Amino acid sequence: MSGNQLYAYDLTEDGSTLKGRSLGPLIPKAQTTDCRAMCVPQDGTVWAGVAATFEGRGQFLHVMSWKPGEQAATDHGPIAISNPDYATLTDASGKTKQWHHGVYNLSDGKLLPRYVIMGICAASDGTVYLTTLYPFTVHAIRIPKVAGLTTEYRHNSHADMYFTRLLKTDRMNGSGVTPPLKLVSVHTDQVPANDTSRKFAAQHDVRISKTVDDALTLGTGELAVDGVFLVAEHGNYPESDTAQFQFPKRRMFTELAETFRRAGKVVPVFHDKHLADNWKDAKWIYDKARELNIPMMAGSSLPGTWRYPPVDVKRGEKLKQIVVTSYHRLDSYGFHALEVVQALAERRAGGETGVRSVQCLSGDAVWEAGKRGVYDRKLLDAAISRLKEKPIPAGKKIEDLAKSPDLLIIDYADGLRACVFSLNGAVLEWSAAWQYEKTGEVESAVFWTQELRPFMHFSWMLMDIGKMMQTGKPTWPVERTLLTSGLLDALLISKRDGGKKLPTPWLNIKYQSEWNWHQPPPPPVGRPITDQ
C-alpha cells in the first residue's frame, strides 16, 4: 500500500460496492509510505509496519497502530535495534558481509534496519513481532504500559509535561510523534479545580485510580504495568523550615514499593526531579529501590536540553571549577542548577568522588566572596556572556541587577569547587562555565529550555525515560540525583543557619556515569536560537 492512509471497510454491508472511509494518515508528515505488513490480533487493534520517507531526513521503518474507537492511527515512531551485537555484520577485514547490508548506524551509534518491514504479528502478551531482511531478522517490539502517579495533574504541571505527551504526542496537541509508551492509569494525590486528568483520561481510555496500588495493578490484584512515573512536584503542600515544599514523595514511593513487594516483581520507575525534600527521605527511597532491585532514574530535564554552543566537559579531564547561573526559588530552580553542575562534574577524571562540604551565602556576602577568591570571576562572566533571554545591558554589572543573590558553594572530595549563583532580577535561564585544570581552558554554554508550550525539553527527557522503560536499564545513574537531592537539602540548611559552612560526610557518594549528552533537534516552535 503506497498511499499514506488507513482505510476502514464494512464487510457486513449488502450489495456489490464495498463502503469504506479514511481514518487519516498512517504516518503523519511522511512524504511517501510503503506498507507491506499488517495484522489484527484478538483485541481488534490494527498493527502495521511502514517504510516512511520524510523530506530532508530519508526513509525510516515505523510501526503504527489503530484501535476501533480511536480518532486516528498512532505512529509509534521509527524502530531501532536495542542489541546491535545480535549478529556479526562484517568480515575480518571490516567489510560488510554478503546479504548483511540491511542495517546501518546513525551518528549517535543507534543501529537501524533498512528497506521495508516484510511481516508483522501481534502476540497476546502485547509483543509485536516483525521481520526485515539482510540479514533476515525477527524484531520483538513492546509498547510498555505505564502508570502515572502524581500530586496533581493540571495545565503546565509536570504531570502535564509527561502524561499529556503520552496521550497527545510530543507536541501535546496531537500533531507530533507519540512516545513509545502507553499511559494506562493515573493516580492523583490531589484534585484541584483546574484538574485535567479526569477529562484527558475519559478521552483516551485511561483508568483513574483512587490508590497507588490500583494504578499499578489495574484492579487485578497483580502488577499489571511495565513502568511507573512518580511525579510529585506541584500541589497544595506545606513548606519545611528550609523553604522546601514537602511533597509526599516518600509516602507515594512507599506505596508503590509495597505493591512491588506483594507482587514479587518490580518494573522501572522514573522519579521526577529530586528524590525528596530532605536527606533522610531521599536516602530511604534510594536504599529501598536498591533493596528491591528497582531500575530507577530521577532528576531534571536540564542536563539533556539544548546547549548553545553545543559543548560538554571533555570526559576524563580534571576540572578546576564549575560556575552555573540560576534564578527563581532555590528549591525548585536551584535543583535544576545542581543537576547541571552534576551532569558536568561526573564526566571529570575519576568520575564522581563525593562532596566534602557546602555553604550558602546571600546578599552582599556573595560579592564579598568573589573578592576573597571563593570563585573565579572570569568563569561567572563567561557563563553570563551566554545568556539569551535577558542579556546584561551594556554598561551594567551583574551586581547592579541581581536582587538578593544567593551563592551555593560545593567543595568536592577531589578538590573541585562548584558555585551556583541564583540571580533573581538579573537572569532568566541557566548557563554554565568550567575550567580545565591542566590547560586552563574555559568552556561555557547556556542550557536553553523552551519556556512555551510544548516545552520540548521534556520530550528529550521522555525519550531517555522510555529507553529505561523498554530495557530496564537506567539511561543515567540515579546516584546523580541522590547526590543533588542531598546537596540541595544541605545548602538550604546552610542558608537557614545564616550561611554556615556545613561539612557533609554523608555525601561521600561515588559513582561513574557513561551517559553522554547530545544536542536535540531544533525546537519546533518558539524563538529561534543563534549559536555562538
Splitting the chain (532 residues) into consecutive groups of 10 residues, what average pLDDT does each group show? 85 85 89 94 92 92 89 87 91 93 87 94 91 95 96 98 96 88 97 98 96 98 97 98 98 98 98 98 98 98 98 98 98 98 98 98 98 97 94 89 96 98 96 98 97 95 95 96 98 98 98 96 61 38
Q: Establish if 526 belongs to a structural domain.
A: no
Listed residue (147, 145, 146, 149) closest to 252, CA to CA: 149
Q: Assess whether 396 and 493 both reside in one domain.
A: yes
The cell numbers describing 224, all together, are 499489571
Q: Establish if 253 belongs to a structural domain.
A: yes
With the CA atoms of 222, 270, 251 and 149 taken in that order, what torsion angle do they form, in degrees rounded to the nearest 10?
A: -70
Q: Assess whether 224 and 354 both reside in one domain.
A: no
Distance CA 425, CA 434 (A): 24
Q: Assess whether 320 and 408 both reside in one domain.
A: yes
Listed residue (327, 443, 310) closest to 379, CA to CA: 443
Q: Establish if 461 belongs to a structural domain.
A: no
Q: Give me the helices (H) in 264-292, please.
A: 279-292
Q: Assess whether 168 and 261 both reside in one domain.
A: yes
Q: Assess whether 11 and 126 both reside in one domain.
A: yes
Q: How many Cα atoms sit within 13 Å of 245 on the Cβ side?
A: 18
Pick from 299, 322, 349: which residue ends a domain? 299
- Helix axis angle for 249-263 and 279-292, nearest 10°, is 10
CATH of the domain at 347: 3.30.360
Q: Assess whether 75 and 165 both reside in one domain.
A: no
Question: What's the start-to-end Cα distance of the chain, in Å?
Answer: 46
Q: Establish if 107 belongs to a structural domain.
A: yes
Q: Assess whether 280 and 354 both reside in one domain.
A: no
The cell numbers describing 428, all together, are 532568566
Coil, strand or helix at 429: coil
Q: Establish if 520 belongs to a structural domain.
A: no
Listed residue (148, 143, 246, 236) closest to 197, CA to CA: 148
Distance CA 350, CA 347 (A): 8
DSSP single-letter state for residue 449: -
Pick from 276, 299, 322: which residue ends a domain? 299
Distance CA 275, CA 253 (A): 10
Q: Establish if 516 belongs to a structural domain.
A: no
How many domains does the chain fold into? 3
Q: Assess whether 152 and 128 both reside in one domain.
A: no
Q: Assess whether 364 and 449 both reside in one domain.
A: yes
Range of the domain at 128: 7-142
Exposure b/e, 183-198, CB count within 10 A at least 16 = b: bbbbbbbeeeeebbbe
CATH of the domain at 168: 3.40.50.720
Q: Assess whether 61 and 129 both reside in one domain.
A: yes
Pick from 277, 299, 321: which residue ends a domain? 299
Q: Establish if 450 belongs to a structural domain.
A: yes
Q: Establish if 512 belongs to a structural domain.
A: no
The type of residue at 447 is: F
Listed residue (480, 485, 484) closest to 464, CA to CA: 480
| C-beta of residue 115 within 8 angstroms of C-beta of residue 132 | yes
Listed residue (139, 115, 133) closest to 59, CA to CA: 115
Q: Assess whether 123 and 196 both reside in one domain.
A: no
Alpha-carbon separation of residue 368 from 361, 363, 364 (angstroms): 10, 9, 6
Q: Assess whether 106 and 153 both reside in one domain.
A: no
Dihedrals φ, ψ of 419, to 5°?
A: -130, 125
Q: pLDDT value at position 1?
A: 65
The reported pTM is 0.90
The cell numbers describing 95, all together, are 567489510
